[in-house]
Structure 1
Amino acid sequence: MRSLLIVWSLLLVFLSSCGNAEKKKEEKSGEENVIEEKAREEDRRVILFFGNSLTAGYGLEPDEAFPALIQNKIDSLDLNYEVVNAGLSGETTASGKNRVEWVLNQEVDVFVLELGANDGLRGIPLEETRRNLQEIIDTVKEKNPEAEIVLAGMQIPPNMGTEYTSEFRNIFPELAKENDILLIPFLLEGVAGIPELNQGDGIHPTVEGQKIVAGNVWETLKPALIR
């Protein structure tokens, strides 16, 4: 009887050992899958959208903002890029200048700069807006020398007067030329001033408006991604 108990005890130890070994094997396999998945994600190149409420998708769901729509286009073409939406509602070029170094703690391959609209709407001196945008561009070039920079052009209503409005519009193509960077001629082309494509405030695009904005961005961005 005692011999039988010993046999059963040994059998239970053996089965328990097998179970633990199998469990460890499964845990290891799961851990390896996580590591492999993380490695795949880390291999993806990063497109960072740095802007204000237009980029953040004010009043909409995150997946309705144009950066998310750009990610959809990228995925449909099986391109190895991951979009990061760093839009912040109310952002001016001054606050963006103060925030950009922190955002650039991650490696960035394409930097899309969408700032200036709030400066124009507030009547901030044009030279200050230009200087802040230039400093942001300089910071990106310093921290990520290989990054492709894309500047989103902006226009404002003529409330501030014809001269201010005209000079504000010219800031963007002039900076793009001076810095040899890509330019989206006017981010809100086909959307600005069209009530049905904007929310009740008349400033922020609706879901349909964001789709048009995404098209404007993609027209400039796509050639930089597919070479």
Structure 2
Amino acid sequence: MKRIVFFGDSLTAGYGLPKPDVQSLPGLIQKKIDDAGFKYQVVNAGMSGDTSSGGLSRLDYWIHQHVDIFVLELGINDLFRGAPYSATKRNLDLILTKVKERHPNCKLVIMGMEIPAAINLAALSGFKNIYRELAEAHATAFVPFYLEGVAGVKHLNLPDGLHPSAKGYEVIAEKVWPTIRALL
């Protein structure tokens, strides 16, 4: 069976959901794959609180088995912790490079992030472009803003205002599914 690895932080893990195995993005994509009759196993390699450097340090565990599609969603916690965007970009670039070195035929997907309105934009020039630049450099599939249509929409987020609710993930899955389906 072919494997899709969703590699990310709490936004991949399904932080705060009562049933993250079925309500998170990887769980919802698995259902769509099953319903469409494709033979893929979706692996949720999300870790709440993870950063790009943390992801880089745990990557080998997730790519020791065959990977057909690798979906990368990391970086927003770097921003919240004040990491230089150049370090975030370097770490994400290394993750993508290591995946391709280990699995040359693996298809890559990057989930882009936007800068939250509460963050000082002047201090973060360059962050927003990291994902597009990496997608171009690695010739990956690209979703420009992972939380599009969900970020800032109260009824689609948990009370913390940062993490999607189950309904929020349904919106995300509808937006992301065409990108994933095209790679199957």
**TM-score above 0.5, yes or no:** yes
From 45, 51, 60, the counterpart of 2:2: 45
Instruction: Give the drift of 1:67.
Output: 0.6
* Shift, 1:160, TM fit: 3.5
Q: Using the aligned pairs only, state the percent identity.
A: 47
CA contact (8 A) 1:121 1:156 kept: no
Q: Is the CA contact (8 Å cut-off) linking 2:85 and 2:124 kept in structure 1? A: no
- Structure 2: runs of 5+ lacking an equivalent: none
**Is 1:123 the equivalent of 2:64?**
no
Match of 1:134 in 2: 93
- 1:55–1:114 Cα contact (<8 Å) kept: yes
Q: Given the alignment of the two structures, is residue 96 of structure 1 paired with residue 55 of structure 2, yes or no?
A: yes
Pairing 1:63-78 to 2, within 5 Å after superposition:
63-78=22-37
Report Cα offsets for 1:124-143 as digits up to 9, x if no partner: 10100000000001110111
In structure 2, relative to structure 1, the CA distance for the partners of 1:218 and 1:210 (3 Å cut) is: same
Counting matched residue pairs gives 182
Is the 1:55–1:66 Cα contact (8 Å) retained in structure 2? yes
C-alpha RMSD over aligned residues: 1.1
Indicate the structure with greater helix content.
1
Residue of 36, 54, 67 corresponding to 2:11: 54
- In 2, distance between residues paired with 1:174 and 1:208? 30
Alignment equivalent of 1:212, drawn from 145, 165, 171: 171
Structure 2 counterpart SS, 1:50? strand
Indicate conservation of the 8 Å contact 1:94/1:129, yes or no.
yes
For residues 120-162 of structure 1, the C-alpha deviation after alignment (integer angstroms, 9 at most, x for no partner) is 1222101000000000011101111110010100112143322
Query: How far, CA to CA, are the matches of 1:208 and 1:152 in structure 2?
Result: 19
CA contact (8 A) 1:91 1:115 kept: yes
Question: Contact conserved, 2:10 with 2:46, CA < 8 A, in 1?
Answer: yes
The reply on whether 1:187 has 2:146 as its aligned counterpart is yes
Specify the structure having the higher radius of gyration (Cα).
1
Indicate the structure whose relative CO is greater, using CA pairs within 8 Å and at least 6 residues apart: 2
The equivalent residue for 2:64 is: 105
- Alpha-carbon separation, structure 1, partners of 2:70 and 2:123: 27
Gaps of 5+ in 1: 1-43
**C-alpha deviation, 1:82, in angstroms:** 1.0
Q: TM-score, normalization: structure 2?
A: 0.95
Helix, strand or coil at the partner of 1:150: strand
